[in-house]
């Protein structure tokens, strides 16, 4: 992902995370950080998904991952997550962390199939009172 993708990502962000979308300023800040790695996926020239990883030594955080509504359920999220995991492994990351809404069954199922396991919960973390689940993947134990 590059700065010129922000104008396309921004409306997708509003649709996919209506309660707490990132602002355009936040996207610029994310892309400016050298330890962040952002990707987009395109289908027939149309940007249909995006995801980002933030690396800190041997740890990484998945900052976001999202696929446009009409492209969901076609294996694109899995490909993007695979890309994030692959990049983290190239950079010598041991643990990948992320937080996800406790009611986000699709994402939870995808993460679980990639070897992410719950390590804690943050009660009422999201603006609507939903809990956050903190997941962690050990790159030494899960493959690829």
Ligand X SMILES: CC(C)(COP(=O)(O)OP(=O)(O)OC[C@H]1O[C@@H](n2cnc3c(N)ncnc32)[C@H](O)[C@@H]1OP(=O)(O)O)[C@@H](O)C(=O)NCCC(=O)NCCS
Binding mask 97-136 for ligand X (x = CB under 6 A): ---x---xxxx-xx--x-----------------------
Stretch that binds ligand X, among 6-14, 24-32, 74-82, 130-138 (CB under 6 A): 74-82
Please tell me whether residue 66 binds ligand X under the rule CB under 6 A: yes
> 105, 106, 109, 103: which is closest to 126 by C-alpha?
103
Task: Give, in order, the Cα–Cα distances in Å from 117 to each of 1, 4, 42, 86, 102.
Answer: 28, 35, 29, 18, 13
Please tell me whether residue 52 binds ligand X under the rule CB under 6 A: no
Compute the least distance from the CB of residue 49 to ligand X, in Å. 7
Among 35, 74, 122, 124, binds ligand X (CB under 6 A): 74
Residues that bind ligand X (CB under 6 A): 16, 65-67, 72-78, 100, 104-107, 109-110, 113
């Amino acid at each position: 992902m590059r700065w010129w993708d922000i104008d396309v990502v921004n409306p997708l962000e509003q649709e996919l995370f209506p309660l707490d979308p990132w602002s355009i300023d936040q996207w610029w800040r994310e892309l400016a950080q050298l330890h962040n790695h952002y990707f987009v996926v395109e289908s027939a020239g149309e940007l249909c998904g995006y995801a980002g990883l933030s690396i800190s030594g041997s740890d990484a955080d998945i900052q976001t991952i999202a696929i446009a509504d009409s492209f969901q359920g076609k294996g694109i999220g899995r490909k993007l997550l695979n890309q994030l995991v692959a990049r983290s492994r190239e950079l010598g990351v041991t643990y990948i962390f992320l937080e996800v809404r406790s009611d986000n069954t699709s994402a939870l199922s995808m993460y679980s199939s990639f070897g992410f396991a719950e390590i804690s919960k943050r009660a009422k973390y999201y603006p609507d009172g939903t809990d956050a689940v903190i997941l962690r993947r050990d790159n030494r134990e899960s493959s690829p």
